[in-house]
């Protein structure tokens, strides 16, 4: 859809919108997982128990459909943000990564179903929300970088450090880190500051929230 825009400026604006919208959705997910995860898990369990006891097969199918639809929307949005973030993720690479992730998730679910131990829901949501925060910070940083590329946000200091001799963001592992976490070996001052402020704000929220529950 983005490639249909002939004006490069509008292409960048649409890509920036996708990145910022994905950041907003992921941030909301992290907050939701922190505040509502346990209540939602209990609610789904009660719904499943009701449908099973009443023999309502279509009710269980609809419940599973809604859950998968929501997660599918978030996954599509996340991959769209990665593809248009300028991090070197092509459609082919995205499809390969999505396929590997799908296979890994199927194996994980199979292993959990075969196991006898109950999955610790609280730690799972806790550290999954932490990963979401780190990924969202990278997307936000990429959006700032694009805003600077089209002169909407000033650069001020073009490069505050360069650690490409340690981990080059054009290398194999560096490209992976750049695509998933927004890693930049030589960021501008505003880009790095924006990333640090976002990450610091939500990490503080994350750590204080779970410290109160402990």
Average pLDDT rounded to a whole number, residues 50-55: 65
Tell me which of 177 and 4 has the higher pLDDT: 177
Rounded mean pLDDT of 6-33? Answer: 78
* Residues 79 and 94: beta-carbon distance below 8 Å: yes
> Of 100-104, 128-132, 139-143, 168-172, which gets the smallest average pLDDT?
100-104
**Per-residue buried b or exposed e for 52-75, using 16+ beta carbons within 10 Å of the residue's own CB:** eeeeeeeeeeebeeeeeeeeeebe
User: 108 is written with which tokens?
Assistant: 């994980």
DSSP annotation of 186: S
Query: Counting beta carbons within 10 angstroms of the beta carbon of residue 184, is it exposed (0 to 12), middle (13 to 18) or buried (19 or more)?
Result: buried
For residue range 106-165, list pLDDT tens digits in order.
787 677 666 645 666 667 777 888 888 898 898 899 889 889 988 889 988 989 999 999
Please report which confidence band the pLDDT of residue 193 belongs to, taking 50, 70 and 90 as the band edges: very high
Tokens of 173: 């592992």
Q: Give yes or no for residue 80 having a pLDDT over 80.
A: no
CB atoms within 10 A of CB 87: 23
pTM for the model stands at: 0.71
């Amino acid at each position: 859809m983005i490639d249909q825009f002939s004006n490069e400026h509008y292409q960048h604006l649409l890509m920036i919108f996708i990145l910022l919208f994905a950041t907003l959705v992921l941030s909301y997910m992290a907050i939701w997982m922190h505040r509502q995860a346990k209540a939602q898990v209990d609610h789904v369990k009660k719904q499943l128990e009701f449908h099973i006891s009443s023999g309502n097969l279509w009710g269980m199918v609809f419940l599973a459909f809604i859950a998968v639809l929501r997660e599918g929307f978030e996954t599509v949005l996340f991959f769209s943000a990665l593809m248009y973030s300028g991090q070197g993720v092509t459609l082919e690479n995205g499809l390969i990564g999505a396929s590997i992730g799908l296979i890994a998730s199927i194996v994980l679910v199979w292993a959990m179903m075969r196991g006898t131990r109950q999955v610790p829901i609280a730690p799972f949501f806790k550290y999954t929300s932490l990963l979401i925060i780190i990924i969202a910070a990278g997307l936000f940083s990429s959006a700032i970088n694009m805003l600077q590329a089209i002169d909407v946000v000033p650069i001020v200091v073009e490069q505050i450090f360069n650690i490409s001799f340690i981990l080059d963001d054009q290398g194999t592992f560096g490209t992976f880190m750049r695509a998933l976490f927004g890693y930049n070996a030589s960021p501008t001052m505003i880009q790095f500051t924006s990333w640090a402020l976002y990450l610091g704000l939500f990490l503080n929220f994350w750590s204080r929230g779970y410290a109160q529950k402990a």
